[in-house]
């Protein structure tokens, strides 16, 4: 069956695929790019862009997350929450073509699906704070 060009649905799926790769890399103690290369089914283009993007700027992203995660350091967070935050902060900081509202909605939904209700609130708070800094009002794509 051919896939239709649904940017919203495909980006949602891509974020989910990227989350799985980030989580697998951490669980196995290997690099993101190694896990990406080892996928038996190649993820979509946007998932690859997300994983490669996070891999390239993870240290900078973690510094930003640490600044906004009051009372938490990235190395002490649950792995799923850390992966979600990295994806969202990467998109906010380096993907100006993605609306802030889409990033926030997706990260909260994924946290609710793969972590806890408490995590969804935590992730939302951290990402919202970072969004205010890296995307001042009016900085969203048209």
Please write the tens of the pLDDT for every residue from 105-130. 999 999 999 998 789 999 999 999 99
> What is the Cα–Cα distance from 96 to 53, expressed in whole angstroms?
13
Find where tokens 């935050």 sit.
85
Show the tokens assigned to 97: 């073509």
Assess whether pLDDT exceeds 70 at residue 102: yes
Burial environment of residue 37 by CB neighbours within 10 A (0 to 12, 13 to 18, 19 or more): exposed
Q: What is the pTM of this model?
A: 0.89
CA distances from 58 to 4, 29, 34, 112 (A): 32, 15, 15, 23
Assess whether pLDDT exceeds 90 at residue 37: yes
C-beta separation of 36 from 52 below 8 A: yes
**Fold designation for 11-134:** N-utilizing Substance Protein B Homolog; Chain A (1.10.940)
> What is the Cα–Cα distance from 116 to 26, expressed in whole angstroms?
19
What residue spans define the domains of the chain? 11-134
Please write the tens of the pLDDT for every residue from 49-81. 999 999 999 999 999 999 999 888 888 899 999
């Amino acid at each position: 069956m051919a896939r239709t060009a649904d940017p919203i649905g495909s980006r949602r799926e891509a974020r989910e695929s990227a989350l799985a790769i980030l989580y697998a890399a951490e669980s196995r103690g290997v690099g993101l790019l190694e896990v990406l290369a080892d996928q038996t089914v190649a993820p979509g283009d946007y998932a690859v862009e997300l994983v490669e993007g996070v891999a390239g700027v993870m240290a900078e992203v973690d510094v930003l997350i640490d600044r906004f995660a009051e009372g938490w350091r990235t190395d002490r967070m649950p792995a799923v929450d850390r992966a979600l935050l990295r994806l969202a902060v990467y998109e906010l900081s380096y993907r100006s073509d993605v609306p802030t509202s889409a990033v926030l909605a997706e990260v909260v939904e994924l946290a609710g699906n793969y972590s806890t209700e408490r995590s969804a609130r935590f992730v939302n708070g951290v990402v919202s704070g970072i969004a205010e800094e890296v995307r001042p009002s009016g900085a969203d794509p048209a």
